[in-house]
Amino acid sequence: MGASAHSFSVDAHGPARIGRAVADAAARVQRPAGAFVFVSAGLDPQLEDIAKRIASEAPGIPTALVCGAGVLSERGEIEDRSAATGLVFSGGQVELVVVDGDQPADVGDGLARALSDRSSRTVAVFCRGDGFAPELLDPLAGGRHSGRIFGAGAVGETGVYAVHADGSVATGGAIAMFAGGLGAPQIRTSPAARIISPLHTISEVRGPMVVELDGRPALERLAAVGEHLADQPLVLAALAAEDGATQTAAGRPPLVLRGLRGVDPAHQSIAISSEVRVGMRMAFAIRDPRAARTDLEAVVRELDRDIAGAAPRFALYLNCAGRGSQLYGNPDVDTKILKSRLGNLPIAGMNSAFEIAPLAGDPMMHLYTGVVALFVALS
């Protein structure tokens, strides 16, 4: 009897070896239903040929093909050479949808239409990284799929390809994999940041500008934090939902990181993004390897606890390209943390341009974040 999922990791400079790796993985899986394949950035010009090779070598298996800055599996992370990782899984009904559009608004509207036409399923979304804006996900908020949407931004000029069950291949602004019958994955996020201020309530905004935090000028709050920072590290905004009841195992609310896009000294305000709203909470943060490691360890412990003895089947790990060896100075830190709790569970993923995961029930764009999507056997 075959496995319910099988992963692979290969060094590869062209389509042939990747196609064979997918076929070999599929041969080990009982009734394959779908596959994810991630390739490193140097292979982006060959994505169409790789897609066609997968269609030929592993016919009938809907496959999401995505290009990342690097790739990873339970075996470790590959950041510095041409390689591919992936997994083939069984169970459920899988459909791939290609969304056309060069502008974020067009892609977001296309994804929303695709979601509205399908029953409630898990949705993995992979977008071309160029020109992406957080507002792309706005049309997906509040839908019945919202809490089941996860994914990432690809790198490269093409970035994403869909290999359909009928052997046809296609690319677009985004691809979405709809998976029914697998059950909702357990999705967790872990930002690579240390919070360096209290979580203030945003009390005044003007468009993307945060004007006041807890009634005081936002720029004044930032200046107070900056006085205690050495070496001028990159300062980020950490946004949290209005409701402060939810806490992760790491002792923090679910957070989404954003860069500081600029300041307006005349109005003592800080430009963040159009997502900011009065009532949201915001802190200042900096990238920090120790905090990143500690947080991911806590998140994986929480995940192991929350599946309540259910048998894990496979996982995807979508990790910001700003993490990995760029953050820690060494590779394999995050994958070793996953393996410490999940053992030899099949895992595949990539180093992404950005990440997609729910925050307060709605899909959000994340930065400097690791996203774990764990699938377990249905009882």
pLDDT at 307 over 90: no
pTM value is: 0.94
Q: What is the pLDDT of residue 12?
A: 93
pLDDT at 91 (0 to 100): 85
> Which of 368, 303, 307, 366 lies closest to 338, judged by CA?
303
Residue % of the chain over a pLDDT of 70: 95
**Euclidean distance between CA atoms 364 and 282, whole angstroms:** 16
Q: In the chain, where are the structural domains located?
A: 5-190+292-376, 193-287
Residues 40-91 have pLDDT tens digits of 999 999 999 999 999 999 999 999 999 999 999 999 999 989 999 999 999 8
Compute how many other C-beta atoms are within 10 angstroms of the C-beta atom of residue 81. Answer: 12
Element (H, E) at 127: strand 122-127
8 Å CB contact between 292 and 323: yes
Contact present, 172 and 101 (Cβ < 8 Å): yes
DSSP 8-state assignment for residue 75: T
**What one-letter code names the amino acid at 314?**
F
DSSP state of 3: B
8 Å CB contact between 143 and 96: no
Residues 185-239: tens digit of each pLDDT: 899 999 999 999 999 999 999 999 999 999 999 999 999 998 778 776 889 999 9
Give CA 133 to chain center in angstroms.
15
Both tokens of residue 11?
């060094």
